[in-house]
Chain A
Amino acid sequence: MIHTSHLSKIYKNDAVETIALSDASFEIKKGEFVAIMGPSGSGKSTLMHIIGALDTPTSGTYALDGEEVGKLSEDELADIRNRKIGFVFQSYNLLPRTTALKNIMLPMVYAGLPKEERIKRASDLLEMVGLSDRRSHTSSQLSGGQQQRVAIARSLANNPSIILADEPTGNLATVQGEEIMAIFQNLNKKGHTIIMITHEPYIAQYAKRIIYLKDGKLVKDESNHRQKKVRF
């Protein structure tokens, strides 16, 4: 599903070159639950941007579902993000003063789905994250955990190939964080591919595979045999 080879990203700022990612090659198959770990400055955000088609690598190749992403135009990248990637951010990033239902419908709007279908699908997704009774609440009327659950519902809007979560529990208390992990494990069980970026080891334990980054290099890539399970 994801195939990268020799991915590098170099930021040029005036005369200073910063190597954010160097020579990262790995593969992620359908149905995996991968945690990408590393201290800050290790290049995990850069890697997430590239996997999320928000940015393109300086060198190396990145193929998503067999499609080479590195050479696409800005609008084509937007299309990839819309159809194939579901984002979950640390700070939720819901539209303020907008209802939960409308937030979930936003990616479907850009995909050009008819209104009736959008409403139906968004309602189903809200039910799946257990927030059917909050459909008309605006973002500010929801708790952090609820906002993140709406964000997860939104990430599933266009039935993407991968769910890309950037520190999804970073702003949440432990209990709420576990709720989010429960949803992820549940989604993973249903066949969704999940890539999660975190610097907290105990959160990474919920994944099936952990990739370690340090100074822009991939230092360790191992299966997590002691995957923590959340009781539902």
Chain B
Amino acid sequence: MDFSETLQSALEALTLNKLRTTLATLGVVIGIGAVIALVSLGQSGQKAVEAQIKSLGSNLLTVIPGALRPGDIRSAAGTSTTLKLADAKAILADKSISGIKNVSAEILRRSQVVAGRNNTNTQVLGVLSSYQEVRNLQMQSGRFITETDINSLAKVAVLGPQAASDLFGDVNPVGQTIRINKLSFRIVGVTVAKGASGFQNQDDIIFIPLTTAQKQLFGVDFIGTISIQLEKQELSDQVRNQVGFLLLARHRISDPQNADFTIFSQADVLGAAAQVTGIFTTLLSGIAAISLLVGGIGIMNIMFVTVTERTREIGLRKALGAKKKWIIIQFLTESALLTIVGGILGILLGTVLSFVVSKIINLPFTVSMISIILAVGVSGGIGIIFGWYPAQKAANLSPIEALRYE
């Protein structure tokens, strides 16, 4: 009996009870479909997060005040006063540190902002002109903060698209005036939307010159962040060390353990985010795998029923000279066929599902090739593993007993 005949006879046996075959297959379809959909959605989510973090500006080192040591209590962001604009300038000016492309310094506060009859509570970010390049910002209209604005403490503002629509609706805000804490600012530009990232909405924001923010708006002399743009990502560790030692020296701290600032790279943020989404993907896939296991047990159950029902047939086949091997092959082919067909349908279901969901929650649509290959392998494997015991049971039936079975 060659393979195509075995397959044909398995098909014939399975089509005899269509409803039962369909129900048994359904377990595998749902299991495989769930695994594919969840793994694909997990990967889409991971890609989306990565893309968003990258849009913050690639090759970026960020210096924030305060220590980030495990076990320590860290004061709330923005309350540490240890970083100064002079630190940022010193980093850019230090010729011994190679690989730095640009440096930007920022200070962030939430403020009430009024424009005519509209008002909103949003983030006000004092920036240097270098911020645009460092953070990879595109202008939708107008211009960004310039060097001249910084030097002259100009009261000008650039709006993020969300802030712009909150305050002005459909009207072009360039040339209009807003009031932040009773100070008037002239709007000179609007940025292009970048989307919300995990920890900061980059669209609901207002940019003003750093000097204006420090001296006229907030009345402080410190800054909140220094962003360092690198020439190459590979330089990240080297520059991080050099900047670290420079700041330690400037702050007169001898023990790096006591540093009053923290430097982290995009890779750190990316890694942390990837870890979180990875955990979610693994968890969800685990749940999906359980449903696949349940589907496999369903197949086993059906195969047992089939063996019992066909006891006489098995007895007859053995009496007519079927060796154990043939009986095992016959039943394994049936169960493997069930699960492979279920697997293929499951792949379709999973793909459609992840397509629909990614459209609904606005994620990039990806189908993980690995999960498809895995699913086909796993579904075939399930058929053989869960079909093995029933097939053994069938092959070990005594022909005399089986022929007598009513």
Chain A interfacial positions (CB closer than 8 Å to B): 49, 52, 54-55, 74-75, 78-79, 81-83, 87, 89, 93, 95-97, 106-107, 109-112, 115, 154, 158
Contacts and interface: CB of A to CB of B under 8 A. Distances in A.
23 contacts: A49-B400, A54-B399, A54-B400, A74-B324, A75-B323, A75-B325, A78-B318, A78-B321, A79-B323, A81-B320, A82-B320, A82-B322, A83-B321, A89-B403, A93-B316, A93-B403, A96-B313, A107-B320, A109-B1, A109-B5, A110-B317, A110-B320, A110-B323
Interface in B373-406: 399-400, 403
A111 B323 CA distance: 10
Contacts of A52: 319
B323 A81 contact: no
B16 interface: yes
Nearest to B404: A45
Nearest to B327: A78
B7 to A, nearest CB: 14
Contacts of B325: 75
Interface string B320-361: 111111100000000000000000000000000000000000
B155 interface: no
Given A49-B400, A75-B325, A87-B320, 20 more contacts: A54-B400, A55-B400, A75-B324, A78-B322, A78-B324, A81-B321, A82-B321, A83-B321, A93-B316, A93-B403, A97-B12, A97-B16, A107-B321, A109-B5, A110-B317, A110-B320, A110-B321, A110-B326, A111-B321, A154-B320
B312 interface: yes
A106 B16 contact: no
Contacts of A111: 321
A90 B255 CA distance: 98
Contacts of A89: 403
Interface of B: 1, 5, 12, 16, 312-313, 316-326, 399-400, 403
A83 B161 CA distance: 86
Nearest to A87: B319
Nearest to B313: A95
Contacts, number: 54
A82 B12 CA distance: 24
A38 B151 CA distance: 122
B307 to A, nearest CB: 16
A140 B139 CA distance: 81
Contacts of B312: 93
Q: How would you classify the secondary structure of chain B's contact residues: helix, strand, loop or mixed?
A: helix
Given A49-B400, A109-B5, A54 B324 contact: no
A55 B324 CA distance: 15
Nearest to B315: A93
Contacts of B399: 54
Nearest to A45: B400
A154 B316 CA distance: 12
Which of B312, B317, B321, B399 has its CB near the most chain A CB atoms (within 10 A)? Answer: B321
A78 B395 CA distance: 12
A118 to B, nearest CB: 10
Contacts of A110: 1, 317, 320-323, 326
Contact of B316 (A82, A95, A112): A95
A196 B319 CA distance: 17
Contacts of B321: 78-79, 81-83, 107, 110-111, 158
A175 B331 CA distance: 40
A20 B400 CA distance: 15
B323 A78 contact: yes
Contacts of B317: 106, 110
Contacts of B5: 109, 115
A82 to B, nearest CB: 2
A171 to B, nearest CB: 14
A57 to B, nearest CB: 14
Contacts of A54: 319, 399-400
A114 to B, nearest CB: 9
Contacts of B318: 78
A91 to B, nearest CB: 9
A104 to B, nearest CB: 11
A102 B276 CA distance: 60
A75 B316 CA distance: 15
Contacts of A75: 323-325
Contacts of B400: 49, 54-55
